[in-house]
Structures are given as structure tokens and as C-alpha cells.
Amino acid sequence: MASIAEVLKTIQLSAYEYFADPIELKEEIYLHNRDQLVREVTRFAGLHSIYIANYQVYPGITKLDLIYVLLEQHDPKGIESGLIASSRKMLSDTSFFQFPRLYTEIMFRDIYQLSPPLTLQRLHGAEIRFNLLPGEERSFTWCAFLNDRLIVSPLNFFIPELIEGKLAVAETLRQLEATRDILLHFNRATQKKIPQWETFIAEITDLLQTWFKSGLGRYQRLKEMVRQAVAILLEVIESFCKHLTKEKLVFSQDKSKVSVPEDASKLLVVAQPVDYAASFFTENVKSIFFDQWQSGAALQKMIDTYRKTKEFYVYLPKELAVQLEQYAHGIDFHTKQVQKALVVKKWLGGLAFPNVIDARNRLISKQQEFLVRYKSLPAQSDIFQYPVDKPQRWDKFAPFLGDKLAVKRELERKQLQEKICAELVGVSG
């Protein structure tokens, strides 16, 4: 089978187009804008504190990952008309931050069980005492979060860029920043450091720090680092799967207890590549998990599929689908949605999940139920970083049965998906 390096050579072009450069933002202006945002939003009732979740901030490149922590007792309508409306207006006037994530005070105490940040910096309000897990459960949660990040990794962005030969510079830099964070999450989740990856972490950091001071050679460097990022992300996936297997975090099947939920069974799409284990499709994320996976062959499939369909599907090993399987057999509000988003061929039913997964599902369920109260929230990522268009809208997922309009939409979605999957079969064949 071809290696990653050999496959990458097949999409190497003689010339590349670079566009949408970042606009330099002096640090003093960035700090002024940040402080102005804090002064503006702290005027409104219901806000407990504000945190920044970025590992590092590079003014002009980084978009601030802000977290608004709300008081337990607050008025949702007041939050919408005040805090959310004001943030939306400021976001339309400037591009230095992305729309903040919302948590209640109690929910935020458990953030290290939901989407554990590499670091947190408090900008406003009282310090919060976090609920921390014991060592073994903490490692498991870190692995669960890294699993989530790999499903929506920058591969989804980098590979189409390289094929088309067009690099959106500002966003490419942010995706490299996300790649750096994934490598840091890998270090934390596995307690391992790979020397080659540590060097790449340093190179990304240097590129981000010196971008506005560098000459035209920075574009060539950017392209080469994107190619290197693709190779390293595939290596991370491979290494992480080995870690999951070694630590027995990939659970074996008990075929005697396999149970396909009725709603999900009606949504099975059989026109998939014959060796697939599961698939996870949302509006912006299209992941297919395979029984037999090799990094070079997977990269070649991703390239071939994109060239044929102009849609990007990320091909992943089946080990990474375990997380989705677990959520599909979890509980409450969140589970009902993910179960209908997960179209599977082989269900891993009857698994004995660690208590930490059940606890994480419960927290996720509570957080999602909290978010659906706010009808005016702009498009943002949910707790798993899977892009969703407003948390209260699940049109892109399989709808609840009985909703006539939703059933019509689902029929249209299935017809489109069957067409795409038929094309995928041709590509894989």
C-alpha cells in the first residue's frame, strides 16, 4: 500500500493560490477590544463570569474562544435580549472573537468532564472551583474528548485545500493552531510525547507568532506545513487507536446482546462501501468508519472521493466510532438526537461502559437542554465540537417520527445520501 508521503505527492501542484490573509491586529488594540467587550457584556444581569479557553492568543489570527458563565438563577429572555444580542452586535463589528459558549455556573464546574480545555483564563467575575475527576477517569475523559476532536479534525479543511491548490490563509493558520492543540491533547490523553510532533508544535507556534513579521517566504512555509499537518494528523489517528486498544478503551462486541433501536434501524443506509463499520453524517461533517484502515489508503480514498463528488468525507478507523456508539446507547435528550444522527451497519450493543461515560452523557444532556432555551443563539459548535446550526435545530439529523414536515425532509435527505453513498461505492470499488 502507498505511504502517506507517496499519496501526498499525487496532489502536489506547481502553483498555489493564497487569499483571505489575516489582518494584523496590534496587541494593544486587541487588549482594548477585549476589555471593551468585557465592559459591554458585564452590564447585563445574569452573568457570573467570563473565561478564555484559548491555549495561546495571536492577535489578528486567533479568534477568542470565550465562555460566558451564567448565574443559576437568571432570566432566559433577559439573557437573549441583553447578553446574546450585545455579543451578536459586537461580533458583526469585529472578527477577533467567535460567539461565546454558554454554561450555567454548576455546569461549568464540570467542564473538565465535558470538553476539557488545555487552559482557562478568567477575565471577569468570581473564581470557580472545578469538579475534577480521579486519575483513571480523568484520562478516560481526555481520551473521549480527543476522540471527538479527531472526528472533526483539520483534515476536513486541509485536504480539499491541497487538492484545489487554494489556501485561505487566515483560516489555514487557525486550522494549524487547532492541529497544534490536538497534538497537545494527545500528549495529555496518552501521557506520551513524540519528538517529531513536539518539533511540529514548536514550528506551528513560531509561524503564528512571526506571521506578520515574515516575508513572502511565509506562504511557501504555510503550504509545506499544511502538507506536514495532514501526515501528522493521520499518524495521530493511528497512534491514538493503538493507545485505545492497548488501554482496553475499545470495547469488544457481545453479539448476543446486539440491539438496533427501532428508529435507527429504519434509517440504515445500505449503499455504503461494503467494508464500512459505521457512518456519521451531519450538515458539515461526513465521517465513515472502516473495519480495515491504513493511513495511506485512507488518504487516497479521501482524495478520490473528493475529486469525484466535490464533497469531503473523512475516512476513519472503526475504533473512533466507539465513542459515537456509546453516545447512541446513552440516555435522555442528547442521546435521542445522536442516535438518529448515527447511521450504523454494525451496532456494538450491550456494552458495559465505564460509569464515567454515563456521567458524561448526563452532563451533555443537561447542557444541550440548557442551550435549546436560547432561540437567538447564532450558529456555533456543540459540546463535541461537531458543527450544528443552532443547538435547538436538528433538521440535518434524522427527525422524530410523526412530524410530517420532518419526515418529508428526511425522505429528501435519504435520497440525497443514497445517491452520494452509491457514488462512494464506485470510488471505493
Kindly report the CATH number assigned to the domain that includes residue 67. 3.30.300
Per-residue cell: 364:
451533555
Helix (H) or strand (E) holding 205: helix 195-210
pLDDT at 388 exceeding the cut of 60: no
Does residue 69 lie in a domain region? yes
Q: Supply the DSSP symbol for 310.
A: S
Q: What is the pLDDT of residue 132?
A: 82
Per-residue cell: 297:
489508503
Distance separating alpha carbons of residues 130 and 140, to the nearest angstrom? 18
Which residue among 99, 132, 165 closes a domain?
132
Q: What is the pLDDT of residue 341?
A: 39
pLDDT at 267 exceeding the cut of 70: no
Does residue 170 lie in a domain region? no
Neighbour count for residue 249 (Cβ, 10 Å):
19
Does residue 10 lie in a domain region? no
Neighbour count for residue 356 (Cβ, 10 Å):
18
Does residue 144 lie in a domain region? no
Pairing type for strands 121-125 and 286-290 reads: unpaired
How many domains does the chain divide into?
A: 2
Name the residue with higher pLDDT: 44 or 379. Answer: 44
Q: What is the pLDDT of residue 216?
A: 93
pLDDT at 272 exceeding the cut of 60: no
Does residue 47 lie in a domain region? yes
pLDDT at 264 exceeding the cut of 90: no
CB 215 within 8 A of CB 176: no
Does residue 9 lie in a domain region? no
Neighbour count for residue 255 (Cβ, 10 Å):
11
Name the residue with higher pLDDT: 403 or 204. Answer: 204
Which residue among 109, 132, 155 closes a domain?
132
Distance separating alpha carbons of residues 228 and 223, to the nearest angstrom? 9
Q: Which of 87-91, 202-206, 226-230, 371-375 has the lowest mean pLDDT?
A: 371-375
Which residue among 105, 132, 159 closes a domain?
132
pLDDT at 258 exceeding the cut of 60: no
Pairing type for strands 17-19 and 166-168 reads: parallel
Does residue 302 lie in a domain region? yes
Does residue 215 lie in a domain region? no
Distances from the Cα of 365 to the Cα of 14, 55, 130, 327, angstroms? 49, 27, 19, 10
CB 278 within 8 A of CB 342: yes
Q: What is the pLDDT of residue 137?
A: 75
Domain enclosing residue 270, as ranges: 252-429
